[in-house]
């Protein structure tokens, strides 16, 4: 399967076959593939809570506008972004230097203390931005693995944080349902056209 085939096949599935499970090995493979994604300064902002139990899915369902697909999916991933991931720079410094990217830890310490350190809104944006890029890759990796997915943002953030003991330095970026489609999807909903979303050289200047 080519990447463009995966892009065209991917849909947000809302009707899962509840009898079809997703194995721990499949989830591991999916996460390991997806986290080859880029992240700002390679800080690996993403974290996951893998929910496959009926009890766990019920807790999510109750706090997610009762969206049925959260119960029927084989697994639901609570995808988190670490807001203070810049403090983890020390986990990566030796690797960067050993592989010849930087001569010493000076640059990376500046990143940690200056670029992110004093800017809480940028920290949060980055946790969401880098983690979201990873989830985009996850959607395509899942297609190649024969799995269906849907990103879900319709949930009560605070209640999910509390119900799953998520610390305050993490932002719930989205839920991701993973499973096997039960009924075929209707045609894809429309997209804005190229001319509607692209400008040339300056905002507002139409592209030919």
Ligand X SMILES: Cc1cc2nc3c(=O)[nH]c(=O)nc-3n(C[C@H](O)[C@H](O)[C@H](O)COP(=O)(O)O)c2cc1C
> Given the rule CB under 6 A, which residues bind ligand X?
11-12, 14, 67, 150-154, 174, 188-189
| Cβ distance to ligand X smaller for residue 118 or 189 | 189
Longest dimension (CA), the chain: 55
Residue closest to ligand X when measured from CB atoms? 154
Give 191 or 205: the residue with its C-beta nearer to ligand X: 191
Tokens of 165: 């003991």
Phi, psi of 2 (to 5 degrees): -85, 165
The residue (of 150 and 166) whose beta carbon lies closer to ligand X is 150
Question: Least CB distance from residue 180 to ligand X, whole Å?
Answer: 16
Q: How far is the CB of 116 from ligand X (least distance, A)?
A: 23
Q: Which two tokens mark 207?
A: 């592209």
What separation in angstroms does the CA of 110 have from each of 40, 79, 90, 143, 182?
14, 28, 12, 39, 50
Q: How far is the CB of 200 from ligand X (least distance, A)?
A: 27
Encoded tokens for 203: 């905002």
Instruction: For residues 92 and 99, give the distance between their C-alpha atoms in angstroms, rounded to a whole number.
Output: 11
Tell me the closest approach of the beta carbon of residue 22 to ligand X, in angstroms: 19
Looking at the Cβ atoms of 108 and 171, the one nearer to ligand X is 171
CB of 163 to ligand X, least distance (A): 17
Tokens 């995808």 locate to 79
CB of 135 to ligand X, least distance (A): 8
CA atoms within 13 A on the CB side of 162: 6
For ligand X, the closer CB: 14 or 82: 14
CA distance linking residue 163 with residue 63, whole number of Å: 9
Residue among 11 and 82 whose Cβ is closer to ligand X: 11
- The tokens for 195 are 């001319």
In 45-201, where does DSSP find H-type helix? 54-62, 69-72, 90-98, 106-110, 120-144, 157-163, 194-197
């Amino acid at each position: 399967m080519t990447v463009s085939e995966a892009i065209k096949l991917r849909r947000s599935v809302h009707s899962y076959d509840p009898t079809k499970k997703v194995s721990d090995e499949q989830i591991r493979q999916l996460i390991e593939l997806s986290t080859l994604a880029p992240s700002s300064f390679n800080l690996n902002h993403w974290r996951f809570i893998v929910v496959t139990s009926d009890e766990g899915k019920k807790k999510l369902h109750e706090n997610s506008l009762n969206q049925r697909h959260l119960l029927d999916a084989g697994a639901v991933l609570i995808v988190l972004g670490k807001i203070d991931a810049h403090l983890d720079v020390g986990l990566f410094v030796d690797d960067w230097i050993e592989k010849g990217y930087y001569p010493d830890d000076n640059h990376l310490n500046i990143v940690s203390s200056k670029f992110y350190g004093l800017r809480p809104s940028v920290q949060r944006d980055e946790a969401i931005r880098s983690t979201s890029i990873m989830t985009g890759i996850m959607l395509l990796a899942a297609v190649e693995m024969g799995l269906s997915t849907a990103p879900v943002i319709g949930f009560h953030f605070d209640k999910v944080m509390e119900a799953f003991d998520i610390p305050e330095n993490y932002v719930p970026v989205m839920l991701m349902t993973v499973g096997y489609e039960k009924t075929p999807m209707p045609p894809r909903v429309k997209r804005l056209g190229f001319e509607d979303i692209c400008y040339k050289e300056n905002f507002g200047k139409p592209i030919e």
